[in-house]
Structure 1
Amino acid sequence: MEKILDNDYFDLIINNVSIPLYGSGDNITTLNFRHSLLNIPKTNSDPCNLGTYPYHNFPTLYVPTSTISIEKSGIGTVQRNPFLGLFGQGILVGVIDTGIDYQHQAFLYNDDTTRILTIWDQTIQNGPIPEGFTFGTEYKKEIINLALKAENPLSIVPSVDTNGHGTSIASVIAGKPNADGSFSGVVPESELVVVKLKEAKQNLKEIFFVHESTLCFQESDIILGIRYLISYAQSVSRPVVICIALGSSSGGHDGSGALSNYLNYLGRLPGIGLSVSAGNEGNNRRHYFNNTTEPPFYNDFELRVGERDQSFSMEIWPYALGRFAVDVSTPNRESTQLIYPTIGSCRMFNFIFTPSMLWVNNFIFEEETGDQLILLRFRNALPGVWSIRIQSIDNEPISFHSWLPAGDIISNETFFLNPNPDTTITSPGNGLHQLTVTAYNQLNDSILIESSRGYTRSGLVKPDIAAPGYQLPCATLRNQYGTITGTGAAAAHTAGAIAMILEWGISRGNYTSMTGYDVNRLIIRGARREGASTFPNNVWGYGQLDVNNLFRRLTNV
């Protein structure tokens, strides 16, 4: 078995300059120009393996950002304009998600052949492996068409989307109109390139105390998926828009991390558009912020732990000026006492009057950001209200953020008692050069209450744009149709708009060197800004997506 698939090996993201320290061979997989994946034997399941190896080496866990219109974004107006008529012709749509129902009519031409050029299914290991990769199976258009003609298509192409999220996201971007006209993707003349992600390794879930049944994906597999899409687009010399409708609340919320860094790099390359969901953490009560400027220089805050969340993690990110200790108390008032920062040690606490166990890493220096990081991991957590104290060691003002995991990693029964809805954009939406999309209700022009809010922890303006994201018509499994809601849906809608802009710029020769960053600036300038709000702001970004206004501004110079 390939080590990248083997649960007896940890996957660690390392900088390429470190490769000589670890030798060569099948324990190294190149991710991109900057990072590689190192596979090392898992000697045991000790949670303090995180501490032996730095926090930033472990791939972040990502979850889907939607739950299973066009006129509102000015798209219909542009498509009816005889001088524009942009439907995605010549553009590739790249989707990295739970897979795709390739038999769905939304992804077929009128002659019942596929609009999908290739599928890389990371979960199937008995077929042709894509060139330059070491696992998964690649299904090209010719094989998919052969399967579509067969009595049992899955006997030829067994790739399935058992969740439906990837199918819905792909259809919002590029689905073919259905017979009764109740559904159409934004760019139905585009073609698709799909990556079905394998689920995160169980040993990575164990490190971050994520339940084994939780659907989540690891950062390194997403990076490999992006690399596959870019490689394919370059091989056929076509522009590509990549939609990432996945998110994570792990990390510093400042655009750091391997995936964000990769997207920042790609955003400066011609012919690559990037649409990223902002996340749905705005009203989940999973973010806390404190800024104490007057003595005494400590802050007490409380966390309500639900019955269903016995094991989970929590991160505290202080700003760089001070040094901070942490004290955690159970609902029955047993305390860890103050835990001071160290380079990499991990402390485990057993409590006397409860079966709860707590692991604390108080890193004085998290290598990716340079900031202090306090990581708390709970097992058999006693339901009730836990108290946490952050205290300055140097008797100086304190300022910090704390985040709980995103999506379905925990239930809505676990939350902060005094939460802050701001600074809840999920990774990789905090990066500079990817377009970060929040969602609004296109029926009444109100922001979706669950939409994550900016800004980033470093003060960067995010989200960039708001797009329709409430009950968008979409394809669902078994050749059915339904609706999809959330910032993932809004990111998919926006990915379609990006495809239109790439078609106008590159395919039609109006701006052949257009980069993803160029597209972002055009979308921001064309955004519709109404009402009394000041723009940009941390809820709407620069305003509502309006492709028609974008092209109108290009001509009215």
Structure 2
Amino acid sequence: KNPKVSPYVKVLIDRLEQKNLTAVDAEALGLEKTAAGLKISLILTKKTHASLRSEIQALGGDVGTESDRFMTVYIPENALEQVVRMPGITYVSHFLPAHPTLDVSVPVIQADRVHNGESPLPRAFKGKNVIVGIVDSGIDWSHGDFKNSDGTTRILYIWDQTTSGKQPAYFNYGTEWNSSEINSGSCTEVDGPANIGHGTHVTGIAAGNGLAIGKYAGVAPEANIIVVKTDFNFNHIIDAVEYVFRHAGALGEPAVVNLSLATQQGPHDGTTSPEQLLAGKVGKGKIVVVAASNEGGVNVHTQLSLSNEEQATGFAAYSNTNSKVDVDIWYSGGNLDVALAGLDTNLNLLTSSAWVSPGNRLAGQAFSVNGKTYGIYTIDATETNNPFNGLHHVVIEINNNSGAYDFTSDALTWVMKVRGTGNLHAWVYGGNGAFDSFSGSLAGLNFVGGNSQYSIGMPATSSSLITVGSFVTKTQWKNKDGQVYQLSHSNGIGHISGFSSIGPTRDGRIKPDIAAPGEVIASAMSADAGIPAKYPSRVLPGEKHFILQGTSMASPHVAGVAALMLEKDSGLTPELVKQYLTQTALSDSFTGSVPNNHWGYGKVNAFQAMSRLVTSVSEEKSAPVAESFRLFESYPNPLNLMSGVSRQARIRYRLPSAEEVHFKIVNLLGQVVKDVSIRQTAGTHQFYWNGRNREGSLLPSGIYFYEIKAGRFHRAKKMVLVR
């Protein structure tokens, strides 16, 4: 019941104590098998400015990325207890690995008009002197789309986190190659069949130049490229983003990093330690774009509202190959007890576990009926006040004892039972299951079905990252043999993709931010992925490109647009990039009224975003001049996060001239808890505050001051936060 330890870590310890993990189990849990034993990836929350590097290293561990509050670490299994007991550590967490989620798409978003330098653009923009970072399954570095016209590589660095070799500076694992080594042919990194060349395809969308066969150029075809081949371990993903930004800083170039990956683990409010770490890495000239995830058609979520009653939701495990299925439960206020039950294939109730009340756990229990065991389960409800959002947190983990039991829907339907009073959100995570859609009475239980709302994955729920959904621009293609193929399932051209994950975030914010093409996307094909033999229908004429779909394909379109914008202004902040993208996004009969939780602010339009950027100075000069500077009262005030009326306060202000605006939220001790800087035109603007600090954590109830400085103007007013 140690409050310093996340339920995710406690569940991991339960699995380790079984002493029978296979290599597949270890991979699914995000563990690394070494000659010396298992190595565990953890994210530590530490006391501000505390340095624990030497202590971690003394235990045989390594430190990856470190900030004032967090650090990614890799420790031997036998050092876990000692790490947890370190006085400088306030919280320990562990996350399962994420999963990976142009011939028509580039013209659709009008990137070709940016490449051509059409008016009002002063010249062509193609991402020159900007770094596009790709964190993915790797890259086929020999592909012609990633070479200059003289045959030299456009790739500055490759870091393969999955092999051992010449390690990069600051990180004690993996193998790094620079451009000279890539040009010499000594690079041995491959983007193989495990993820069907996903990283190569993603890189081609964002930054391919089309030189391989003279077509299929990406959005930023002259950008420099840095690729990190990852195993999708969240610690490694965070280290990868740090790696790209470190190299970009050393080279004096701005950078945008694309993350076409996601998980449904976490509270879906942007407060997880990975999201806070990533939010701390972005800034001027440092942008992260992330896929919304592909659960728009999957019941990964359920929501229960209880008033002194009992409700249930069924869920199923897909496969016994993946040895576990997990449910993540989050709620505020009230007290809810949780239990696990099962229905047989005739929908009769098998049995039910004991109820687990807040602050307690039931670990390593066999779910058995009449001598038959279906799985080993843990219900952990020990966390009653998560340090990042103050919520109750319950985790259900079921495993099949490394394949010893059949815990899939062929054998039973699992049932999450909840009783008490409260409003609960839950997600099936780990990619091996979903909630059942059935609602009604069955086997003496009151069932509430699952849905695909609130399915934006982590880290895409962070407000500091740009989140991208997918829409349809094409439904058919002609392959290398001249055969025409058509998608069997598609919402149709112009529509949102059926798989594109849906908002809002659990705390009520609109996500995704924007949508981009994500179906029947043609891009670079890795020669090492075995695509022609496995998917011949997807291979295009010339046999250098192929077709994929997903929000994984949508995200690099927007990353490429961000690279074009950074070529024009290398100091753009994530807030400004998002502002230009959302203010110029296309809305039509397909999007309906925007913003909304399917489309965000609409369909990305590279040309309009760039036009707004390059004309911003002249717009500022010609903008209507406000009579005077004014800071209005915030609304609502008090901001009561428990009322359900509003989850954010609107703060309006008026500028008499274009200014760099510095906005701060300050507590009674004079500490700045939230700050944003943005250049804005003359006129009336507004800022929204959701009661959270810089790291995304909810602040305590109390009096706060909102303060704005713009040129020679400086105003402050008081507001009250209640939660």
Return the TM-score normalized by structure 2: 0.66
Question: Which residues of 2 match residues 152-171 of structure 1 at below 5 A?
Answer: 156-162=186-192, 163=195, 164-171=197-204
What is the CA distance between 1:75 and its match in structure 2?
1.3
What is the aligned partner in structure 1 of residue 72 from structure 2? Answer: 37
Question: Which AA in structure 1 matches 2:598?
Answer: V
What is the aligned partner in structure 2 of residue 371 from structure 1? Answer: 391
Contact residue 339 and residue 353 of structure 2 kept, 8 A: yes
Q: CA distance change for structure 1 residues 305 and 551 in 2, over 3 Å: closer, same or farther?
A: closer
What is the aligned partner in structure 2 of residue 535 from structure 1? Answer: 594
SS of residue matched to 2:471? strand
Pick aligned residue for 2:40 from 5, 10, 14: 10
SS of residue matched to 2:569? helix
Q: Does 1:140 align with 2:178?
A: yes
SS of residue matched to 1:334? strand
Q: CA distance change for structure 1 residues 416 and 404 in 2, over 3 Å: closer, same or farther?
A: farther
Q: Does 1:427 align with 2:491?
A: no
SS of residue matched to 1:351? strand
What is the CA distance between 1:39 and its match in structure 2?
4.0
Q: Distance in 2 between matches of 1:264 and 1:91?
A: 20
Q: CA distance change for structure 1 residues 230 and 552 in 2, over 3 Å: closer, same or farther?
A: closer
Q: CA distance change for structure 1 residues 371 and 160 in 2, over 3 Å: closer, same or farther?
A: same
Q: Distance in 1 between matches of 2:555 and 2:128?
A: 20
Q: Distance in 2 between matches of 1:480 and 1:179?
A: 7
What is the aligned partner in structure 1 of residue 299 from structure 2? Answer: 285
Q: CA distance change for structure 1 residues 327 and 344 in 2, over 3 Å: closer, same or farther?
A: closer
Larger Rg: 2
What is the CA distance between 1:274 and its match in structure 2?
1.6
What is the CA distance between 1:25 and its match in structure 2?
2.7
What is the aligned partner in structure 2 of residue 501 from structure 1? Answer: 565
CA-based RMSD of the aligned residues comes to 2.7
Q: CA distance change for structure 1 residues 242 and 518 in 2, over 3 Å: closer, same or farther?
A: same
Contact residue 56 and residue 75 of structure 2 kept, 8 A: no
Q: CA distance change for structure 1 residues 503 and 542 in 2, over 3 Å: closer, same or farther?
A: same
Q: Does 1:360 align with 2:399?
A: no
Pick aligned residue for 2:368 from 324, 327, 351: 351
What is the CA distance between 1:142 and its match in structure 2?
0.7
Contact residue 469 and residue 489 of structure 1 kept, 8 A: yes
What is the aligned partner in structure 1 of residue 656 from structure 2? Answer: none
What is the aligned partner in structure 2 of residue 207 from structure 1? Answer: none
What is the CA distance between 1:87 and its match in structure 2?
0.7
Q: Deviations over 1:105-148 (max 9, x none)?
A: 11111111101011111122133x2111111121010111111x
What is the aligned partner in structure 1 of residue 693 from structure 2? Answer: none
Question: Which AA in structure 1 matches 2:259?
Answer: I
What is the aligned partner in structure 2 of residue 153 from structure 1? Answer: none
Q: Does 1:62 align with 2:98?
A: yes
Q: Does 1:230 align with 2:233?
A: no
What is the aligned partner in structure 1 of residue 55 from structure 2? Answer: 23
What is the aligned partner in structure 2 of residue 78 from structure 1? Answer: 114
Q: Does 1:270 align with 2:284?
A: yes
Pick aligned residue for 2:158 from 119, 133, 158: 119
Q: Distance in 2 between matches of 1:284 and 1:96?
A: 25
User: Structure 2 stretches of 5 or more lacking a match?
Assistant: 1-30, 345-349, 401-406, 439-448, 475-492, 528-542, 624-723
Q: CA distance change for structure 1 residues 308 and 55 in 2, over 3 Å: closer, same or farther?
A: farther
SS of residue matched to 2:556? helix
Pick aligned residue for 2:607 from 523, 548, 552: 548
What is the aligned partner in structure 2 of residue 218 from structure 1? Answer: 233
Q: CA distance change for structure 1 residues 315 and 373 in 2, over 3 Å: closer, same or farther?
A: farther
Contact residue 285 and residue 572 of structure 2 kept, 8 A: yes
Question: Which residues of 2 match residues 71-470 of structure 1 at below 5 A?
Answer: 71-82=107-118, 83-127=122-166, 129-147=167-185, 156-162=186-192, 163=195, 164-178=197-211, 180-197=213-230, 199=231, 217-267=232-282, 269-292=283-306, 295-306=307-318, 308=320, 311-332=323-344, 333-342=350-359, 346=363, 348-353=365-370, 354-355=372-373, 356-363=375-382, 364-380=384-400, 381=407, 383-392=411-420, 396=421, 398-405=422-429, 409-410=431-432, 415=436, 417=438, 418-443=449-474, 444-470=493-519
Q: CA distance change for structure 1 residues 298 and 56 in 2, over 3 Å: closer, same or farther?
A: farther
Higher relative contact order (CA 8 A, sep 6+): 1
Q: Deviations over 1:508-557 (max 9, x none)?
A: xxxxx321221111111111122372221110001110122224445365
SS of residue matched to 1:438? strand
Q: Distance in 1 between matches of 2:581 and 2:290?
A: 14
What is the CA distance between 1:44 and its match in structure 2?
11
What is the CA distance between 1:419 and its match in structure 2?
2.0
Q: CA distance change for structure 1 residues 107 and 40 in 2, over 3 Å: closer, same or farther?
A: closer
Q: Deviations over 1:353-373 (max 9, x none)?
A: 331221111132333432112
What is the CA distance between 1:439 and its match in structure 2?
0.3
Q: Distance in 1 between matches of 2:211 and 2:52?
A: 55
Q: Deviations over 1:367-409 (max 9, x none)?
A: 34321122111123252222221111xxx3x211111125xx3
SS of residue matched to 2:329? strand
Q: Distance in 1 between matches of 2:569 and 2:521?
A: 27
Question: Which AA in structure 2 matches 1:64?
Answer: P
Q: Distance in 2 between matches of 1:539 and 1:300?
A: 27
User: Structure 1 stretches of 5 or more lacking a match?
Assistant: 148-155, 200-216, 507-512
SS of residue matched to 1:495? helix
Contact residue 356 and residue 362 of structure 2 kept, 8 A: no
What is the aligned partner in structure 2 of residue 510 from structure 1? Answer: none
Q: CA distance change for structure 1 residues 321 and 116 in 2, over 3 Å: closer, same or farther?
A: same
Contact residue 304 and residue 416 of structure 1 kept, 8 A: no
Q: Deviations over 1:465-514 (max 9, x none)?
A: 011111111111117210221111100111111101111112xxxxxx32
Q: CA distance change for structure 1 residues 309 and 20 in 2, over 3 Å: closer, same or farther?
A: closer
Q: CA distance change for structure 1 residues 306 and 328 in 2, over 3 Å: closer, same or farther?
A: same
Q: CA distance change for structure 1 residues 39 and 80 in 2, over 3 Å: closer, same or farther?
A: closer
Q: CA distance change for structure 1 residues 329 and 350 in 2, over 3 Å: closer, same or farther?
A: closer
Q: Distance in 1 between matches of 2:113 and 2:496?
A: 23
Stretch of structure 1 that moved more, 416-425 or 110-119? 416-425
What is the aligned partner in structure 2 of residue 516 from structure 1? Answer: 574
SS of residue matched to 1:176? coil
Q: How many percent of aligned residue pairs carry the same amino acid? A: 26
Q: Distance in 1 between matches of 2:152 and 2:298?
A: 43
Q: CA distance change for structure 1 residues 178 and 21 in 2, over 3 Å: closer, same or farther?
A: closer
What is the aligned partner in structure 2 of residue 214 from structure 1? Answer: none
SS of residue matched to 1:454? coil
Q: Distance in 2 between matches of 1:303 and 1:377?
A: 12
Q: Distance in 2 between matches of 1:553 and 1:428?
A: 28
Q: CA distance change for structure 1 residues 45 and 502 in 2, over 3 Å: closer, same or farther?
A: closer
Q: Distance in 2 between matches of 1:62 and 1:522?
A: 29
Q: CA distance change for structure 1 residues 29 and 343 in 2, over 3 Å: closer, same or farther?
A: farther
Contact residue 266 and residue 328 of structure 2 kept, 8 A: no
